[in-house]
Structures are given as C-alpha cells and as structure tokens.
Structure 1
Amino acid sequence: MSARANAIAARVEAFVRETVAPYERDPRCGAHGPAAGLVAELRDKARAAGVLSPHILPGGEHLHHAEVAVVLRAAGLSPLGPVAVNVAAPDEGNMYLLGRVASDEQKRRFLDPLVRGEARSAFFMTEPAADGGAGSDPSMMRTTCARDGNHWVISGRKAFITGADGAQVGIVMAKAEEGASMFLVDLPDPAIGIERVLDTIDSSMPGGHAVIAIDGLRVPADQMLGNPGDGFKLAQVRLAPARLTHCMRWLGACTRANEIATDYACRRHAFGKPLVDHEGVGFMLAENLIDLKQAELMIDWCASVLDGGELGGAESSMAKVAVSEALMRIADRCVQVMGGTGVTGDTIVEQVFREVRAFRIYDGPTEVHKWSLAKKIKRDWKAGS
C-alpha cells in the first residue's frame, strides 16, 4: 500500500473516531438518513480537518482503487463517516463516473460542487416493480427520452433513488431510439416529483430512497453523457468500482461493530467469568476475525483487477457476494454476542446490522450475482469446448 494512502487513511480514521462518532446519537439522524444541517456541519468539520473528499487529490487525481480501499474502510468506521468526509453512495460513484466520462464543462457544472462537498447527487436508474420497470435487469427500462430540437424530453418513473430528496445533481437513465442514454440534470426540477420517500431498513444515507415521477423533463442536449445509446456502456464504468466501494465502507462499519462487541464480551461477566471465556462467545468473535480478513482480501483482490485496467464485472460480482455475506455474518454475531444490548440503539451495532442486511440487496442481490457468474461459467465452457 502506498505511503500516501496510508497517511490519508490515518487522518480519516482519526477524524471519524474522534469527531464523527460522537454524532452517532444526534437527533438529526433520522429514519431517512442524517438531516441536511447535520451533513453540512460534519462536512464543515471535515473540510477544516483536511479530510473532505480524501479519495480525490488536489488537482483532481483520483486515488487508485487499492488506495481507495484503505481510505474508505477508515471512513466507514462510523455510519456517518462516509457522509462526513464525502465518500458516501451515491455521490462517490457519481464523482468517479463524471471524472471518467464527463466533458470539461460538465465537470465544472456538476462534478466540482460534488467534490467540494457543496452538493449531493442521485443516480436515477431503478424503476418500480409494479410498472414492470428496470431493477436488477436494466434492459427492462421503461423511462423514455426523445429529441425535441436541441433538448431531450424524458418521462417515466424511478424507484429506490438514493438521496434524491435534497440532491442538487442528478444522473438520469432513459431509453432513446438508439438505446439507453444518460443525462445530467440540475435538481430540484418541477418535472421531477418525489412521490414518496420509502421507509426502509437502513438509515445512513441522506435523503433516504425515493419513488420518483418524471413528467416531460427537458434536458439540453449538451447535458447528455456520451452519445445516444451509450447509457449501459457508461454505467459499466461506474458499476464495478461503486459496487466495490460499498464493500469497503461496510467493512469499516463491521470492523467497528466487532470492536464494540469484543469490548462488551471482555467486560461483561456471566456464569462466573467474562463472556469471551465462554466458547460459544469466544468462537463467534474468532469467526468474525476470519470473515473480516477474508472480506478485506477479497476487496483488495478486486481492487487490483480494476487497477489493472479491467472492467471487473465478474470479479466485482464475486467480491460483492463474498463480502456482503461475510459482513452479514459478522454483524449478526455482534448482535448475538451483545444480547439485549445488541438490539438497542445504545451502540451502532444494531444500525450496522440493518445497513448490512440492506446491502445484501443493494447493488445487486446475491442471487443475481450468482446467476450472472453461472452464465459466465457456461459461456467460458462453450468457448473452451
């Protein structure tokens, strides 16, 4: 690991543990994520500490994926950490995409405010199941776009749009005659209405997850990313890195949850000795160490593939399955070790359990990734037979 990444990660870890963690029980942390005022306050502190947007260096250079891994693990030590230092989803993935494919003018208008932590963003792709729209299968997309002079007009509905409530930058996927296309939009816009913000099991992302109606949204042609029909190709640029950074952040959260559970097990006595001395408890903590290390190694392996210039679709699917399932086991054991305390809001362990349970679905359920890998196995077999 590079010296610069380790130095950045150390500063981020100190900031998250010392400054951010005390905010975890702040009443501004609600069911739909931390309130805008809390986000702004935390980012002001991160800016003053020199750890805002730590994955993007002065001058715009993006850290290598392997470097991002250690920085985002440090940010994830608190559920509020990624938001505070501006590496949370969907902003981190959107920044990466725009940094790779946006024009200079698009970067100035849409990327720069995100990097400065002055704006939040949303990625509008998933659609309501009731409409028969795109979910894990983006080819089912029903939101449409059509040319009208030097504009495109977009209409449709979207669902589970993280951070849409309160976002200033939107990336909208819609189907043109040429195929799926991607647009940058200023938010809020009267043509984009929030039908409702869903009540979900997780609560770490500002704005929550919304159902959206898009009715005749007019977007200037120069706000299209790439060309008509490039949408899926551009989405692939974002897909594997954003999938992997989710793993990085939640590995940090589970590391902290395990620290809390370990401390509890070593301090709490029952049946004449500390809980950790009971095999049933000690073995769970030992299994956590194994899963934490395996998750770390899986992330680092996939990051090395991305750093080698590969798209990493299959590798990120393997990493997402392995890491999300391992983190679920870790979070569940932490709750179990802590007993009644583990299901309360007295520590972040209960929240981490909820967040990781949602993560097993977000960015593709485990079963979809396994199905995709099975198709690759068959393709590779045919190619080699």
Structure 2
Amino acid sequence: MPRKILLVSQPGDAGVAHVVANHVEWAVERGWQPTVACDPESRLAELAVERGGRVEPWKAKRSPASGVHSEMRALRGILERTSPDVVHLHSSKAGLVGRLLIRGSRPTVFQPHAWSFQASRGMSKALAVRWERWAQRWTDVTVCVSRAEQAAGTQFGVEATTAMVPNSVDSARFHPLPGNADRAALRAEMGFAPDASLAVCVGRLCEQKGQDLLLAAWPRVLDAVPSAQLVLVGDGPKRDQLESQRVANVVFAGASPHSARWFQLADLAVVPSRWEGQALVILEAMSCAVPIVASDIAPNAETLPLNVGATVSADQPEILAAAIVERLQTDAHERVTEGLSGRKHVQEFHDRAQLADKLTEVWEAVADAHRVSPIHLAR
C-alpha cells in the first residue's frame, strides 16, 4: 500500500504555501498519498488539491500564545482520521502544536522555514530557544533549506538531526520572456511603460521581509533615477503602515498568485529581508533571469552566486539605494547576462527532481526507522 504523509502548515500563502504545495506534488509523483492540514480557504488549500493532495481543515493562529489547545484537538482528529506514516510539520506554529501533540508517537519531520526565535526578542526569544531545544526529542529529522539555517539552530544550542533540502523552483513556470516585445506587452497589460526602470519586491508585508527598509532607501534611488518605479507585491500586517508613508513612485500591487509575471516584467528584484531560512523569491527571480539586490543576511549570501546581483546592508538606506541604482543604471545587455547566469545556477543547484528525491528519501528513512505505535496523543 502507498505510504501516507500528513503535511501541516499554519501559513496558507506566500513562500511556505508554495513549498508545501511542491511537497504535495513530489509525494504524488513518488507514490505517496499526501494530505495537507491547513486553512481550507487559503491559497495553500487550492494548490494542494491542484497538485493531487487532499485537504483536512486546520485553522491555526500565527501567534504561539493563541489557540494552542483548540489547535491540538483539531489536529488530533486529523491524525486519527488519516493515520499517516509520517507527519511533516511546516513552520513554527505547526511545529509547536504538532510536537506537543504527537510527542514521538509517530515519525515526525519538522521544517522551520526560519527558526521561531529569529522572529522574537527578549523573554519571547529566550522561551522560543528553550522550546526548540526541548522539542528536538520529539523530532526525528529537522529539514533545513540552507547551511545558514542549520548554523542558526546550532548557534542557539538546538541539537538536531538535520537533512539539507534546499528550496526548489519550477524553471518551466518561472522563466524569462522570449523577447523585448513580449516584455513590453506584459508591461502594457500590467500598466507600466515599456522603458520604465522597474524594481519589484515580492513578499508578505511584514517585519521579516523588510519592505520598510526598502521604502527608507527609495527616495535616494529617485534622486539618481527619477523615473524609477517600485512595485511591492504582497499583503500583510504592515500594509497600512507602509502605504501611509506615501513614498513617491511606489505601487502596492497586493497579493498575487502570479509572481512569475512580476519578475518577468522587472529590471530588478529587491529582497531586503531581516531573516530567512532560504528566500524562495530569490530563486524565483533568478529563474526568471532577473538581477537581484538582497540584504546581506547569511541565507541570502549563501543563495546568491557571486556573479548574480548583490548582497548589501539593507538597514543602511544609502547603501541599499546605491546597489539598486547601480543595477538600474547598468546596461540592459549586462543585466540580461547577469540574469541568465542566475537562471543557470538555479537549474543546476535547485533542480526540482533532485530535491524531490532528497526529501522523499528523508520521509522513507524516518518511516523505516520509526515503527509507528498505536496513537497515544497528548490530551
């Protein structure tokens, strides 16, 4: 009989959703039966069904301090109905609820998508560190997407059995347009001039993604390139605050299921994140042959090859602005050459099939090594 995998995720949109959806597709292709526990009204639920999985409704709050007991009850019911061979917990809230509930009674894989303590300060950070250390006793394998993410756990004393499975991107979907005419047509369709100097930043509008740092730098960009336009693609808790700044030549495009189109019309992608595990948008932009300016956090520096784009200190507006201006003023032919180098890198090191094999090997090894006992879930 096919083995069953339960993928659990509180985030229902943005990068985590696309990673989980990829895992659904990989599972189906390799003979597993995937079920996703997530918000049934989320983009992730749509993607999971499109990729051949089933969805079990599981609504969870982002905050670790809210809803844990009710979320555990709901997840207990899902486990009893699906009886998975392996449970793969995605991001911090599913990692908290799932491991408190299962406590080693089923093979458990945890994928942090950036550690919870990286988003915390003060006492909250100390508690998050203590939890991640403790919870490893109920984690068979922790999947890290970068060496930097693995190192961040080690730095804070998280003694984990890890597997390295970087993020991947579908280069058939994320690809450059064939010619200038196609790009001009897409720009016209999206309301932009064919010769505009256009930078895009794709991501949830939140502290982690650093759009406030980009807006602080943008007036300096306009001093050098007055016609430059910035498009923020995404939604989130910081949107009202960011829009209220009324920075010139900035468009708030909202959330979009078609991020490839935004990269295809852009001259430059900007990724000013404060922390990441591995930014999927960097891989997507590279796959579309778009040059990148990113914050110089360790995961971004690891992901970007030396000849593609730049990593800079995003919290220094003058430095971030200078890097953006340099790329926007670069000769178009040089930008294309740089972008194509990025696409080649993605195809070589973030190949979908190879990484799918790696992940399913993790699932199989965990299932084989961990005989599933009758469910004795925490109540």
TM-score interval, normalised by the smaller of the two chains? under 0.3
Greater helix share, 1 or 2?
Answer: 1
- TM-score with structure 1 setting the length: 0.26
* TM-score, normalisation: structure 2: 0.27
